[in-house]
């Protein structure tokens, strides 16, 4: 019995962490902070982002505070597995995960089941206040979910909606402060009227 317990403690244990929230809530900043902490522990880290996100840089993940880290841009979720050596990497981080296909949930599960710590960040809702892409499923299978909040630009309360201030109907529209503003529930509902 003692040997079995000792053996099971020596196995790598993976899990999934989801960092979510609205635009300007500090999701990417929190992702980068967690990566820095893993680096302090000398862990091997791989960072990915969707290739379509070129707002700040084609290869770097960049926060609104202009902190950055080199990443591997990928076109779809299955491409991530091509870059991972399951025996070497200890942490896989993925930014802007809402832009990935639904296969990202299976990719994250596969990595976690292989004993890898998986950290993802992304918008939990789109500009209409509707759950965004694979985020609901990722939040359901994750061991840890952190909801970040911005500050409402209209009233100063906590904001968790990303209100689109330009008239474009497509769900995916890359933008910054000229395109989106964080709003609380009350101000979001008022803006929709």
pLDDT tens string 103-153? 999 999 999 999 999 999 999 999 999 999 999 999 999 999 999 999 999
- Does residue 58 have a pLDDT over 50? yes
**Mean of the pLDDT values across residues 167-185?**
75
State residue 35's pLDDT score: 96
Q: Which of the four pLDDT bands, split at 50, 70 and 90, describes residue 76?
A: very high
Angle at 24 between CA 173 and CA 163, to 5 degrees: 50
Query: Who contacts 48 (Cβ-Cβ below 8 Å, separation ≥6)?
Result: 71, 72, 73, 74, 80, 83, 92, 93, 94, 95
pLDDT for 179 equals: 83
Residue 7 has pLDDT above 50, yes or no: no
- Which of these is catalytic: 96, 106, 143, 181? 96
Nearest to 54, CA basis, from 95, 85, 109, 19: 95
Confidence of residue 6 (pLDDT cuts 50, 70, 90): very low
The label of the residue with tokens 């100063």 reads: 156
The separation between CA 2 and the C-alpha centre of its own chain, rounded to angstroms, equals: 39
pTM passes above 0.85: yes
Asked if residue 14 has pLDDT above 50, the reply is yes
Among 80, 76, 31, which residue's Cα sits nearest to residue 51? 76
**How much is the pLDDT for 140?**
98
What per-residue confidence (pLDDT) applies to 69? 75
Pairing mode, strands 45-50 and 180-183: unpaired
CATH class of the domain at 12-149: alpha beta
Q: Among this protein's residues, is 96 annotated catalytic?
A: yes
Contact 15, 60 (CB under 8 A): no
1: confidence class by pLDDT, cuts 50, 70, 90: very low
**Residue 42 φ/ψ region, left for φ over 0, alpha for ψ in the -120 to 50 degree band, beta for the rest:** left
Which positions ≥6 away from 4 have C-beta within 8 Å?
A: none
Q: Specify whether the CB–CB gap between 181 and 163 falls below 8 A.
A: yes
Across 36-60, average pLDDT: 85
Chain centre to alpha carbon of residue 150: 15
Q: Is residue 53 very low, low, confident or very high in pLDDT (cuts 50, 70, 90)?
A: confident
pLDDT at res. 56:
65
Backbone angles phi, psi at 72, to 5 degrees: -110, 110
Rounded distance between C-alpha atoms, residue 104 and residue 154, angstroms: 35
Q: Give the residue extent of every domain in the chain.
A: 12-149
């Amino acid at each position: 019995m003692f040997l079995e317990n000792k053996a099971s403690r020596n196995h790598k244990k993976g899990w999934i962490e989801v960092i979510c929230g609205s635009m300007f809530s500090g999701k990417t900043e929190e992702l980068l902070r967690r990566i820095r902490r893993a680096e302090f522990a000398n862990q091997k880290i791989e960072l990915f982002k969707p290739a379509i996100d070129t707002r700040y840089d084609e290869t770097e993940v960049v926060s609104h505070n202009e902190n950055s880290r080199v990443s591997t841009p990928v076109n779809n979720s299955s491409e991530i597995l091509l870059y991972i050596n399951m025996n070497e990497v200890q942490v896989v981080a993925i930014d802007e995960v809402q832009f990935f296909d639904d296969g990202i949930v299976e990719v994250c599960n596969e990595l976690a089941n292989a004993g890898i710590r998986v950290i993802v960040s992304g918008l939990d809702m789109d500009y209409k206040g509707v759950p965004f892409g694979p985020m609901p499923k990722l939040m359901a299978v994750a061991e840890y979910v952190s909801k970040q909040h911005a500050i409402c630009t209209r009233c100063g309360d906590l904001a968790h909606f990303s209100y689109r201030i330009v008239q474009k109907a497509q769900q995916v529209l890359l933008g910054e402060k000229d395109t989106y503003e964080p709003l609380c529930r009350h101000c979001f509902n008022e803006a929709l009227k």
